Chain A
Amino acid sequence: MKLNTVISLLLIGVFVLSGCGSPAAASPTAAAAITMKIFAPSSLTDAARELAANFEASHPGVKVAIEFGHSPTQRLQFTEGATGDVFMTASQKDMTDAIADKSVAEGAARVFASNKLVIILSPKNAPNLGKLEDLSSAGVKLLVGNTDIPVGMMTMQALDKMDKQIGAGFKQQVIANIVSNEAGVKPIVSKTKLDEADAGIVYISDTISAPDLKTISIPDELNMVSKLNIAPLANSTHADLAAAFCDYVVSAEGQAVLQKWGFLPAK
């Protein structure tokens, strides 16, 4: 009796939930829709969503699904059989690697935006950081990206440049202040926002969605610039749409969306 009740309740729950979630019930035209799949780095979250929504609006019947993740991971996923239509990368290297893997055809990639590094500060800014040199003060809790993802690699390269200019073991001292090599830019922003760390090094585009965060800018000659790349995937089953999406992203309209979200022009 008791078990029966539990099972009935579970079944009712399953029916109710599946009824609510069913896309067929939500839209009668859904059957005819084509879904294209885009792989994008998490730094592109807001911009890619807006680009996808605009593309859907101008291409009735097309639905754009975006898979966010780390570019190097996604590149590996293609070699292990992941399929999709467009690959957007956080750096040039990821696209070069994907071309070497033959996941992307030679000559198909285009630079669609660029990005550079900035230092974000926690709301409390307990150590009272005000300039680049303060990063090496003892006891500063600093978050950076791990060196296996583009933002982490750029951070180390920028530190090398700063070390040459500032000297006095700057890089070593900053590295000693790193409390965690985070797996992405978003966790760096979230943890710094929460005041769990004093500072973080992220992309300048990340500060757009967190306008309340104070920042210290890094002068261009000490900064690193990443080139974001876009290309249709070689195994795309919607090659026309994939090409159209890439064209849209590099078009003036697409560029306006990207710049709204803090990305620098492709140049």
Chain B
Amino acid sequence: MPYHTRIHQIRPLLGFFLPGALTGILLSAPLLVLLFRGADAGLQGYLADPSVLDAARLSLWTSVISLLVTLVLGTPLAYTLARWSFRYKNWVEIFIDLPIVLPPLVAGIGLLLTFGRNGFFGAGLDSLGIHLPFTTAAVIFAQTFVSAPLYIRAARLGFANIPPELIEAAYTDGATEHVLFWRIMLPLASRAMLNGMILSWSRAFGEFGATIIFAGNLQGFTQTMPLAIFQGFEVNLGTALGISLLLILISGVVLFALRKVEGETIPTG
């Protein structure tokens, strides 16, 4: 549990407070300016535009689906990496983490060259009748690709932080691998997993670069909010501001809700 100290002497703490306050101002200023100027420009006017609502709806549901895909596919991977060691595991971990640092445009090109019609798996997908580029599925693909590593990383650390004695004790009590996972590991790592989900969803919701390359830009199908903002910026700042404001509001509400849930889960270790 973190504990808060009472401030006895201000002076020795200034070395922390001043840089801290400066960082806080630098990070929040652009957001606050966007909020003020967006509110000034009149949000209701832009909400009436069907393209804005289409983008908001698309962004919301695709980012939720990609979060679900990340959860279902990412959790076993995170668990495997945390529980067992194997050859070249370090390399596997680096490769899984790489999309985090990759510029999203690079991720988009990689996706296009891999899963595109003429890509590495293109012929195979084609024989199954699947064409990914320029579809809503490609939006989810791009979001998952760039955001899943954040969740996997957080969940892996969560699982790895569970004391080995607990696992030993569970084995001694005759727990099977399944019981161990569902009844002990999952609840204990839940806070770390939730934290990873927050990071992962935020990244997916704000995804731009990989989406515009791999999925393209078509209203109602592939034009998510960040793409609509980008396109809006070409015409007039007001439209871009309106959608930006909406994006910040939705993100704020979701992050607030997730933090509340996070606060109510049992802390790990």
Verify if A178 is at the interface (C-beta below 8 Å from B): yes
A72 touches B231 (CB 8 A): no
The answer to whether A182 and B118 touch (CB under 8 A), given A72-B234, A146-B231, A149-B234, is no
Main secondary structure of the interface of B (DSSP, over half): loop
Verify if B149 is at the interface (C-beta below 8 Å from A): no
Question: Which residue in chain A gives the minimum CB-CB distance to B133?
Answer: A196
The answer to whether A148 and B234 touch (CB under 8 A), given A194-B116, A194-B118, A196-B118, is yes
Verify if A181 is at the interface (C-beta below 8 Å from B): yes
Task: Write out the residue numbers on chain A whose beta carbons fall within 8 Å of the beta carbon of B232.
Answer: 148
A-B pair count, CB < 8 Å, reads 65
A195 touches B217 (CB 8 A): no
Task: Write out the residue numbers on chain B whose beta carbons fall within 8 Å of the beta carbon of A148.
Answer: 231-232, 234-235
The answer to whether A180 and B217 touch (CB under 8 A), given A194-B112, A196-B117, is yes
Verify if B68 is at the interface (C-beta below 8 Å from A): no
Q: How many residues of B contact A (CB 8 A)?
A: 24
In chain A, residues 34-73, which have Cβ atoms closer than 8 Å to a Cβ of chain B?
Answer: 70, 72-73
Interface string of B95-135 (1 = CB under 8 A from A): 00000000000000000110011100000000000000110
Verify if A76 is at the interface (C-beta below 8 Å from B): yes
Partner of B233, one of A73, A182, A195, A197: A73
Task: Write out the residue numbers on chain B whose beta carbons fall within 8 Å of the beta carbon of A178.
Answer: 218
Interface string of A116-147 (1 = CB under 8 A from B): 00000000100000000000000001010010
Verify if B74 is at the interface (C-beta below 8 Å from A): no
Complex Cα distance, B237 from A73, in Å, reads 9
Complex Cα distance, B218 from A191, in Å, reads 15
Q: How far is the CB of B62 from chain A (nearest CB, A)?
A: 16
Complex Cα distance, B117 from A179, in Å, reads 13
Besides the known contacts A148-B235, A180-B217, A183-B230, 9 further A-B residue pairs in the complex with CB atoms under 8 A apart: A73-B234, A80-B237, A180-B134, A180-B215, A181-B216, A181-B217, A181-B223, A195-B116, A196-B117
